[in-house]
Chain A
Amino acid sequence: MYKTCLTLLLLAAVMVAGTALPLRAEYPEKPIVIIVHAKPGGAIDLTARMISKVARNYSDTPLVIENRYGGSGAVAMRALLGKNPDGYHMLAFPATFISAVQVTRSSVGMDDYRFLACMVEAPEALITNRNSDVVSIEDIIRDAKEKNGSQIWVGPGVGSLDHLMAIKTWDKLGIKATWLPYDGGGEAIAALLGNHGTVYVGNPEDVRGRPDLNIAVVSAEQRLKRYPDVPTFLDIDCDLPNEIMWRGFAVHKDTSDEICNYLTDMLGKVSTDPEWVKFVEFNSAKNVFYDRDKFTALVNRDSDDAVKYLKMANIIAGEPDQQARTKRMIGWVLLPLAILTVFVVTKLRNKTATGQMSIATVTLGIALLLLMYALSFPPSTNGQNVGPNTIPIIWAIVLILFSLMQITSAMKNPQANKHGRIGLVMIISVLMILFVTLLPLIGFFLSTLILLVGGIYAMEYKKHLTVVLVATGMLLFCWAIFIKTLGLPLPAGSLFG
């Protein structure tokens, strides 16, 4: 019985280790992963997926999409740098990354990457609602002057490419307006259609299928073929000829020339494929191919611009000053102090510290810490009364009040602590912590095996054959469903290379 168990477990371990061991051969000998910072279905995700589809015509190596979203792209940018520079990971690199790095004060910089090729570009455009009083660019300028700063421009995100475009336009046209950021382009377009804003900053592709939207002006050297009536900024004597949204690809900066050439060549072939050309044109974008030098130059130009205009809009915050740091320090002192005080008071009044009281004490401590942090935030930067600190301060104070009430109430009517099988819970918790710690090291299969088998035996289950069957079945299920079918990049374990 035990022998069968052991053999099967060993077999499973060998199988898992076997698939994880790398074999050296000519590049590329395994799928190349494209890391995408947007959720599946986003514009950049679809671009990457189309590239992956078309590239199959030119290479036997499949391109696989891996979505790692978060932090306006910071997570994806960092994910690429965490990989070996062996050409098996590429980053889909949109223009928004340039300002995102600045806004999130990321430690990642543009010189951490080698830029392979820029594949798509689309001009920036100002878009208005046909069912409003402000439709043409002349309307926008007149209305902005009448409203003197309270005209509302909507678009995705703060410090985004479109936000920068808005700031540049205000600067060049000499008008004042207010930026109202939404979480995504769709929401912002809905706001424009509902007349909650006057101008939407986006690309010509945003008006397709939405007859109520009108392109007021577009940033291009010549009028667009598809929209010959739409003026360019040059037509209205405004010096914004070349503001573009682009999408390209980059790799880790230490990647060899040989690999970079291979990838750039492959992307070059894709860019002339009829299916790809059709896809890009259908999205009202322009199919381009900027090689490594030209793309790098574009990135550098946009980086310089981003810093300049983000500073103009007061978006790049400095390091916290001395006063702010002191407030944060006080917060870290208050957290343990609050917890200690409550327990001393309880002891002095000869009461027992119940679980309910302890929880309220911890929430009190957390609220105090976050309150001191919130007090150190800079007040609003855009002239509003309500800034990034307002809401956190309100919630923190309310939480402090509720926690104190809960502490007093629990002190008055203490409810005895219930005692269950805390030991078993502790064992399972340790197993879970072990799982989370080991997962990146020994990979998904081994750590899952430990959690599963450990958990089952800890709960006094004695039928060994069933345990083996369940464990093997579960691992096979995970492999078939999550890895093979859904393509989840579950960690294979860094110890196995």
Chain B
Amino acid sequence: MEVFQNLASGFATLIGAGIADISWWEPTLVIAGGIVIGIFVGVMPGLSASTGVALMVPFTYGMHPLIALILLAAVYTASAYGGCITAIAINTPGTPAAVALAFDGYTLTKKGEPGRALGTAVIANCTGGIIGTFILVLFSVPLAKAALAFGPPEYFALAIFGLTIVVSMEQKNMLKGAVSTVLGLLLMTMGLDPITGYMRFTFGVPELTDGIAFIPALIGLFAVGEVLLNIEKFEPVQAALQSFSSKMPGNKELLSLKRSILQSSALGTVIGVVPGAGATIAAFIAYNESRRTSKTPEMFGKGSLEGIAAPAAAAGGSVGGALVPLLTLGIPGSAATAVLVGALMLHGVTPGPELFAGKNSYLVYGLFASLVVGNAILLVLGILGNRLWVKIISAPKALLFPIILVIAFIGSYGVANSMFDVVICLVFGIFGWILRRYGFPTAPLVLALILGYMAESNFRRALIMGDASIFLTRPVSAIMLVLALLSFAMPFIRARKQRK
């Protein structure tokens, strides 16, 4: 059990054992600070985990490499959770991965029980984070090998599998969901063609060269759209009467979620390993799988705690997963870990397999230990923070809504420091309001925006590698496409059975 010895030495490192220039309290304090910053980063729409980590990099210049690494990892860990808070509280996912949390989380908030939703989310997220860390410690080498087997056909199959989730997500108005999805897929083909470099549908606008910026569109569809939808139903008197409870979920309730949390944490970690796929797809797939295997699937979308726990746990687990290719291959598994690579380089440390053996191995085990400690601190701060968030959403709507709009616009601007993105946010906001007003769901549109590019670019790459049979002759891709077909057909089959 060398692994556990190493992990123990990691915890020792965290209290400054063996390192001359670090005092015993410093690492823990740094982790706590990083967690607070990370929560804030996640809460702000537009500030993604990668931006948050990148903004912290200049502060780490003068630090010891270990302190720098655990600070950035703490920011990364907590920003995955921060995104969940706004998704639940005001239906504005702070990070793309939190979109799946808005379905049930925000529904519970509307019922006046944001405390239960937030409590479930933080507990599931931290459990996911700790499970993800252990999977990282124990299985990083085989997992990294598996991730490398993922070539273009497999990425394409994964994207298609992800898209079939729409079918089970929108069983009530399938046709409207289909219109939303395909519209998203079509809009996602705008911009520079990934394979030939041809400019598609840019209409001479240079900002469209990279297509529609995804984050501003997401902020518009959710934050701005939601505010407009609420304003339409706004009654000053009634609004003042609604009260929100910060009551946490009970122990029994939490215990009933253990299967959903364990399953989703593992899913989140494993999908997080695949470079580029990351937390967002993991959260959606975990949500869908949790519903498929749930005893009460009919509760999903109506405030199911399982529906909150699943994506939150997956988002937590994906942090550990994304670190697998970084530490074993030196390849970043997500945008945020890409920034970590850069930061490590600034400190003269090269991420990769040699890190485990060389004189810098204490960094790896210190990092593992810091992830466990970080998640524990996040759990405490998250539970304490719930009261604050509930208090904020209890503020008068007339004050809250304009503030949300301002933050949504700053967030969109901050993505690339571009006015054009603010316009995108506004256009998608008004568009999202109109769509939802008439019962067209916006979540499939977002899913299509996330997966459309991944599906097309990898489809085309696969066809450069071989002919169309490549999707079926490679086992992983073939299995995933069959699963996708099943996931697409199951809701129809089940519906037919029920009719009989």
Contact = CB atoms under 8 A, between A and B. Distances in A.
Contacts of A439: 409, 419, 422
Interface in A280-299: 282-283
Given A402-B178, A406-B175, A490-B413, A377 B463 contact: no
A210 B341 CA distance: 13
Interface in A346-391: 354-356, 359-360, 363, 366-367, 370, 373-374, 377-378, 380-382, 384-388, 391
Interface in B190-210: 192-201, 206-207, 209-210
Nearest to B435: A359
A104 B198 contact: no
B175 A39 contact: no
A482 interface: yes
A49 B346 CA distance: 10
A186 interface: yes
A365 to B, nearest CB: 12
B232 A461 contact: no
B419 A74 contact: no
Contact of A456 (B197, B399, B414, B422): B399
Contacts of B353: 209-211
B112 interface: no
Count chain A CB atoms within 10 A of each CB in B55, B176, B186, B426 and give the residue with the most.
Answer: B186
A356 B195 CA distance: 37
A495 to B, nearest CB: 15
B209 A74 contact: yes
A223 interface: no
Nearest to A482: B410
Contacts of B465: 152, 180, 196
Contacts, number: 306
Given A190-B275, A455-B402, A435 B409 contact: yes
Nearest to A448: B406
A256 B195 CA distance: 41
Given A40-B339, A75-B416, A194 B149 contact: yes
B109 to A, nearest CB: 20
B249 interface: no
A109 interface: no
A211 B354 contact: yes
Interface in A187-217: 187, 189-191, 193-194, 196, 208-211
B301 to A, nearest CB: 20
B417 A67 contact: yes
Interface string A456-494: 100111000011001000100010001000111111000
A355 to B, nearest CB: 4
A210 B193 contact: no
Given A72-B192, A196-B151, A406-B175, A190 B198 contact: no
A428 B403 CA distance: 12
Interface residues of A, number: 117
Interface on chain A toward B: helix, strand, loop, or mixed SS?
Answer: helix
Nearest to A157: B197
Interface string A421-460: 1101100110011011001100000001001101110011
A41 B397 contact: no
Nearest to B188: A395
A454 B401 CA distance: 12
Contacts of A66: 417
Nearest to A108: B206
A317 interface: yes
Contacts of A71: 192, 206-207, 209-210
A37 B232 CA distance: 41
B416 A67 contact: yes
A128 interface: no
Nearest to A473: B403
Interface string B351-373: 11111000000000000000000
B419 A392 contact: no
A399 B234 contact: no
A459 B231 contact: yes
B232 A429 contact: no
B464 interface: yes
Given A46-B345, A359-B438, A455-B402, A196 B198 contact: no
Contacts of B194: 158, 181, 183
Contact of A50 (B195, B338, B346): B346
Chain B interface bracket (under 10, 10 to 19, 20 to 34, 35 or more): 35 or more
B54 interface: yes
B149 to A, nearest CB: 6
Contacts of A409: 175
B434 interface: yes
Interface in B389-425: 396-399, 401-403, 405-406, 409-410, 413-414, 416-419, 422-423
Nearest to B406: A448
A385 B355 CA distance: 44
Contact of B346 (A39, A46, A69, A184): A46
B104 interface: no
Contact of A424 (B53, B193, B234, B437): B234
B196 to A, nearest CB: 5
Interface in B166-191: 175-176, 178-179, 182-183, 185-186, 189
A297 B70 CA distance: 45
Contacts of A360: 179
Contacts of A381: 196, 198
Contacts of A176: none
A72 B175 CA distance: 37
A467 B399 CA distance: 8
A374 B437 CA distance: 31
B232 A315 contact: no
Interface of A: 39-43, 45-46, 49-50, 53, 66-72, 74-75, 78, 103-106, 152, 158-159, 178, 180-184, 186-187, 189-191, 193-194, 196, 208-211, 279, 282-283, 315, 317, 354-356, 359-360, 363, 366-367, 370, 373-374, 377-378, 380-382, 384-388, 391-392, 395-396, 398-399, 402-403, 405-406, 409, 418, 420-422, 424-425, 428-429, 432-433, 435-436, 439-440, 448, 451-452, 454-456, 459-461, 466-467, 470, 474, 478, 482, 486-491
Given A209-B351, A370-B201, 19 more contacts: A40-B50, A68-B417, A71-B192, A71-B207, A72-B209, A104-B199, A104-B206, A159-B197, A190-B325, A282-B345, A360-B179, A363-B179, A392-B189, A405-B175, A409-B175, A425-B433, A428-B401, A451-B405, A488-B417
21 contacts: A39-B50, A41-B54, A41-B57, A42-B338, A42-B342, A70-B416, A78-B206, A158-B195, A180-B465, A183-B276, A355-B434, A359-B438, A373-B201, A377-B200, A399-B179, A402-B182, A436-B409, A452-B403, A455-B405, A456-B402, A486-B414
Interface of B: 47, 50-51, 53-55, 57-58, 61, 147-152, 175-176, 178-179, 182-183, 185-186, 189, 192-201, 206-207, 209-210, 213, 224, 227-228, 231-234, 236, 275-276, 325, 329-332, 335, 338-343, 345-346, 348, 350-355, 396-399, 401-403, 405-406, 409-410, 413-414, 416-419, 422-423, 426, 429-430, 433-435, 437-440, 456-457, 459-461, 463-465
The 3 closest A-B pairs by CB, nearest first: A40-B54, A209-B352, A455-B402
